[in-house]
A and B are shown apart, each in its own frame.
Chain A
Amino acid sequence: MSKHLTNITLKVWRQAGPADAGHFETYTVPEISDEASFLEMLDILNERLISDGKEAVVFDHDCREGICGTCSLMIDGQAHGPQRGTATCQLHMRKFQSGDTITIEPWRASAFPIIKDLMVDRSAFDRIVEAGGFITAETGGAPDANLIPIPKPVADAAMDAAECIGCGACVAACPNGAANLFTGAKVAHLNLLPQGQAERFGRVEAMVETMDSYFGSCTNHGECEAACPKSISIDVIAVMNQDYRKSKFKNRKALARS
C-alpha cells in the first residue's frame, strides 16, 4: 500500500552554463508517491516543466540501480542525500516527510566544473585512472578460475575497494574537496591483488600526483566514507599513503639503476 507525500518544496540549483552565476529556483511538488525514487520525483517535475514550456532541470543519471556512479546531487547538504550507503538513484521519497523543503545542489569542486544546473564534469577522475588505475595485461582467453591463488582476506579487501563507482560523492562531501577516497579505492583495489604488483609503485605515484594536480588534500574528517554510496572505508586512504611513501623510495632506486 503506497502512501503519498504532499506539499514538497524543492529548492533546486539552476545554472544556465559553466560561466553563469546560478541561483536557487523554488518548485512545489503537490503530491508524490513515497515509492517514487528521488530521480523519479525530479522526472515528474521535469515533465511538468516541459509541459509548461519551461526548461527541464538537468541532472546526471544512468543505470538507476546504484552501480554506474552517474547520479550525483547534494541533497539537504549531504552527498547522495540522507540515506547512508546508497546513491541518489536508490534514495526514495519515503525518506522524506510531507511538507519538507528539500535543497538540491550540484557537486562543488574546482575539478568538477558545473556543465548545467545539477550536472558536473567529473573527467578529472578519468585523468587519475588513466595515470595508473589499470593493469597492463596480455589479453586472451579467460584464465581458469583460481589459477592465481589469492587469500580470502586479501580478495575481500580488494573487492571492497573495487566497489567504487566513481560518482564523486567523496569529493563533494569532503570539506577540502579532496579525492583521496576515490584514488585510494582505485589504488588499493589493484595494489592488493597479485595482478597489480608489477605496476604497483609506478601506479600509486602517478595516480597520487595526478590527483594532486586537481583536488584538495585530506584532513581525515571521514565525511567521504559517510557519503560513499558503497561505504568504502577510509582505510584505503591509509593503504594509498603507505604505498605512495614506498613508491617514492623504490621508484628513485629503480631510476638510479637505470
Chain B
Amino acid sequence: MAQTLQRGPVSGTAVKRAGKKRKPFLLDFYSTAVGKKYVMAITGIMLIGFVVAHMVGNLKMYLGIVEKDGVRDYDLDIYGEYLRQLLVPIVPEYGTLWLMRIGLLAALVFHVHAAYTLTVLNRKARPVKYQSARDYQVASFASRTMRWTGSLVLLFILWHLADLTLGWVNPDFEYGEVYRNVDASLSRVPVAILYIVANIALGIHLFHGVWSLFQSMGWNNPKFNQWRRSLATAIAAIVVIGNVSFPVMVLAGVVEFDPDAGTVIHGEVEEVDE
C-alpha cells in the first residue's frame, strides 16, 4: 500500500455524499492542489494586470513637465494625484486607490500562500531525492526558478514600498512628489542595480507564469495554444524593458528632478499670462 501524504482532508465527492456537511465552497476548492493552482493563476492575472499598468503609468516620467489647468507640473505627479482622486465624486478621496491596494495585497497574500503550501506538498511528494543527477528535457530555467524569482520579487516589493510609497529608505522623500522621489532613489547606483536585478527576476517569473496560468485555468484551445508562449514572452519583455529603462534613464540623467521646476515656473507662467 502506497504511503499517503499528510494534508488537510478534501471533501467527499458528489457521488458519495459524506454524512457531515461540506466545507464552504471556496475553502473546499482551495483545499485541493488543483484548486490552489486556480488561485495562483487568478491572483497571478490580477498581479500581471497591476505590473503592466504600473509600468505604463511610470512611462509618464518621460513626458517631464506638462501644463494642466494652467498649472505646470511633472506629468508623473499629476498621474499620482489622479490615482488618489480616482472616481472621487462617487467614492471619497483615496477610496479607489485603497480598494485597489487591498485587492492587490489580498492577491499577493493568496499567491504566496498557495505557492508556499504547494511547495511543501511537492517536497513531501518526493521525500527521497534522486541519488543521481537528473537530466531535465524541457523544464526551462524560468519554470525551475519560480520559487527563487518569486521570493526575490517579494523582497523587492517590500523595499520598493519602503522606498517610494512610504519613503523610509529614500534619502530625499517628499510625499506626492513622485518624480522627485524616483530621481532621489534611483540616482543611487546600488539601488538602481537592485531595481534592474529585481525586474529581470520579475521578467523570468512572468515568462513562465503567464504561459503556465493558461494550463492552470484549463484554458486549452488547440487554435490558440501556439500564442501562449508568444504572449508570455511579450508581456515579460515589455515589463522588463519598461521597468529597467527607469533606473537606466535616471542614471543617464534623462530623468532628473529640477527643484526650480513646478511651482516656480507655474508662478512665472501665471505672471506671463496676466
Name the one of B13, B15, B136, B214 contacting A223, with C-beta atoms under 8 angstroms.
B136
B2 with A111: CB separation less than 8 A:
yes
Q: With a CB–CB cut-off of 8 A, which chain B residues contact A218?
A: 33-34, 37, 215-216
Chain B residues touching A, range: 35 or more
User: Restricting to B71-127, which residues have a CB under 8 Å from any CB of A?
Assistant: 118, 121-122, 124-127
Q: Quote the shortest CB–CB distance from B123 to chain A (angstroms).
A: 8
A123 with B10: CB separation less than 8 A:
no
Tell me the complex Cα distance, A245–B2, Å: 27
Q: Quote the shortest CB–CB distance from B195 to chain A (angstroms).
A: 27
Q: With a CB–CB cut-off of 8 A, which chain B residues contact A215?
A: 5, 125
User: Restricting to A64-98, which residues have a CB under 8 Å from any CB of B?
Assistant: 74, 76-78, 82
A244 with B3: CB separation less than 8 A:
no
Tell me the complex Cα distance, A206–B12, Å: 8
Complex: chain A residue closest to B214, CB-CB: A238
B144 with A175: CB separation less than 8 A:
yes
The total of Cβ contacts below 8 Å across the A-B interface reads 188
User: Restricting to B16-59, which residues have a CB under 8 Å from any CB of A?
Assistant: 17, 22, 25, 28-29, 32-38
A221 within 8 A of B: yes
A127 within 8 A of B: yes
A129 within 8 A of B: no
Please report the total number of A residues contacting B with Cβ < 8 Å. Answer: 67
Q: Quote the shortest CB–CB distance from B197 to chain A (angstroms).
A: 23
A258 within 8 A of B: yes
User: Restricting to B121-171, which residues have a CB under 8 Å from any CB of A?
Assistant: 121-122, 124-140, 143-144, 146
What are 29 A-B contacts defined by CB distance under 8 Å?
A: A24-B132, A74-B130, A77-B130, A105-B132, A108-B126, A110-B2, A121-B1, A122-B2, A123-B1, A123-B2, A175-B136, A175-B139, A176-B122, A176-B125, A199-B15, A205-B14, A209-B13, A217-B122, A219-B118, A219-B143, A221-B138, A221-B139, A223-B136, A234-B215, A240-B218, A241-B217, A251-B13, A252-B14, A255-B14
4 A-B pairs with least C-beta separation: A242-B218, A216-B125, A238-B220, A251-B14
